[in-house]
Amino acid sequence: MTSRNHNQPSPSEITPEPVYQARRRLLMAGAALPLLGLGACEAGSSDAPSSQSATPRPAAEEEQTRFEDASTYNNFYEFGTGKADPARYAHTLQTAPWSVQIAGHAEETGSFTLEDILKPHTLEDRIYRLRCVEGWSMVIPWRGFPLGDLLKRFRPTSKAKYVSFHTKVDKQEMPGTRYPVLNWPYREGLRMDEAMHPLTLLVTGMYGRDLPRQNGAPLRLVVPWKYGFKSIKSIVRIEFTEKQPLTSWNLSQPSEYGFYSNVNPAVDHPRWSQKTERRIAGTSSRLFANRVPTLPFNGYADQVASLYTGMDLRKYF
Ligand SMILES: Nc1nc2c(c(=O)[nH]1)N[C@H]1C(S)=C(S)[C@@H](COP(=O)(O)O)O[C@H]1N2
Ligand SMILES: [Mo]
């Protein structure tokens, strides 16, 4: 993510053009692909691959991101805007005791300890792709349970059309929140049907262990068909609302970050293309990560496209 208050004109994460071009020249010359860790996706065609022609593979069949990459290359602006900042600074975040406020249009509301929140649920391991709006993606084994199973427990009323989420904010523990880089607390939201969708996970761990703080301990969301910023970390408040909730990224740059933020290769970010992504996986270096086509709904279209029937996804980006 970049922010207007943060003077970077373009995301550092996009492969620098000369590197990308050099790589393509090598490919066309038929140079040693395995050395560069490049895959079939890119080797076949020189143009940006059409997302329609690419068949989504189940994430579980794909090469996984290494834990070392998934836990050291992060976006968590509460600890700084650099990718290495969260791993460096998140150790000050107090994750116990932890409580979550449940509020808004539901029959049961109040403050619940993390133990209360988790007790009735069985944690599952699920491998999901997560695609950052800045152009990279990872394949991560998450540990969690469907958000909908939690939400049902509070018996939302018919007025509950959306769900809003807040991250903890503490200037001592989270040094990035001393600066107005974003609207704190970090806020996100989902439409009720998105929140209830079985792909939407509340996550407490990854790679079979508890979440590292930089990945959003002790409780975060993972919404795999949406750009990564919807997957809010270190959640302390969940509210059922009637109106579409405000979100931090939409508040800061409404023309760049919409409420829905479904992964969509056909709708470019105003400052860069969304057609491809750098897949950070396996042992190849981040810089030479495979460039693969970005799929509609991040490859989960079969499961979620029907949520948006009849909506103009260019308007509701
Ligand atoms: N509270 C909070 N949640 C956040 C962010 C953040 O800055 N603050 N960054 C988001 C973005 S832009 C991405 S891409 C993902 C990254 O998740 P990961 O670091 O676990 O891969 O977290 C999302 N959740
Ligand atoms: Mo992101």
Say whether pLDDT at 190 is over 70. Answer: yes
pLDDT tens for each residue of 209-257? 999 999 999 999 999 999 999 999 999 999 999 999 999 999 999 999 9
Q: How confident is the model at residue 38 (pLDDT cuts 50, 70, 90)?
A: very low
Note the pLDDT of residue 138: 98
Q: What percent of the chain has pLDDT over 70?
A: 83
Long-range pairs for 250-256 at CB < 8 Å and ≥24 separation? 251/182, 251/183, 251/187, 252/3, 252/4, 252/5, 252/182, 252/183, 253/3, 253/4
Say whether pLDDT at 164 is over 80. Answer: yes
Note the pLDDT of residue 1: 57
* Residues 6 or more apart whose Cβ sits within 8 Å of residue 237: 100, 101, 103, 164, 165, 166, 185
Separation in Å, CA 61 to CA 56, 57, 139, 148: 10, 7, 10, 26
Closest ligand, as measured to the CA of 235: 1
User: Does ligand 1 have an atom closer than 6 angstroms to the CB of 228?
Assistant: yes
pLDDT tens for each residue of 113-142? 999 999 999 999 999 999 999 999 999 999
pLDDT tens for each residue of 46-83? 344 444 545 689 999 999 999 999 999 999 999 999 99
User: Does ligand 1 have an atom closer than 6 angstroms to the CB of 229?
Assistant: yes
Q: Are 165 and 221 in contact (CB under 8 A)?
A: yes
User: Does ligand 1 have an atom closer than 6 angstroms to the CB of 227?
Assistant: no
* Residues 6 or more apart whose Cβ sits within 8 Å of residue 18: none
Q: Are 139 and 298 in contact (CB under 8 A)?
A: no
Ligand 1 geometric centre to CA of 317 (Å): 19
Range name among 33-42, 43-52, 105-114 with the lowest pLDDT average: 33-42
Minimal-distance CA residue to ligand 1 atom 11: 229
Range name among 110-119, 130-139, 190-199, 286-295 with the lowest pLDDT average: 286-295
Say whether pLDDT at 284 is over 90. Answer: no
Q: Which pTM value belongs to this model?
A: 0.85
Pairing mode of beta strands 276-280, 290-293: antiparallel
Ligand 2 geometric centre to CA of 206 (Å): 18
Say whether pLDDT at 17 is over 50. Answer: no
What does pLDDT average to over the chain? 87
User: Does ligand 1 have an atom closer than 6 angstroms to the CB of 223?
Assistant: no
User: Does ligand 1 have an atom closer than 6 angstroms to the CB of 74?
Assistant: yes
User: Does ligand 1 have an atom closer than 6 angstroms to the CB of 232?
Assistant: yes
Q: How confident is the model at residue 287 (pLDDT cuts 50, 70, 90)?
A: confident
User: Does ligand 1 have an atom closer than 6 angstroms to the CB of 249?
Assistant: no
Note the pLDDT of residue 288: 86
Minimal-distance CA residue to ligand 1 atom 24: 232
Assigned token pair, 21 = 């071009």
Mean pLDDT of 205-211: 98
* Closest of 59, 203, 56, 216 to residue 127, by C-alpha: 59
Specify the ligand 1 atom closest to the Cα of 185: 1
Q: For a ligand 1 pocket test, name from 71, 73, 76 the mutation site with the most ligand atoms within 8 angstroms of its C-beta.
A: 76
Ligand 1 geometric centre to CA of 214 (Å): 9
For residue 185, cis peptide bond before it (omega within 30 degrees of 0) = yes
Specify the ligand 1 atom closest to the Cα of 221: 24
CATH topology assigned to domain 18-308: Sulfite Oxidase; Chain A, domain 2 (3.90.420)
Ligand 1 geometric centre to CA of 28 (Å): 36
Note the pLDDT of residue 176: 98
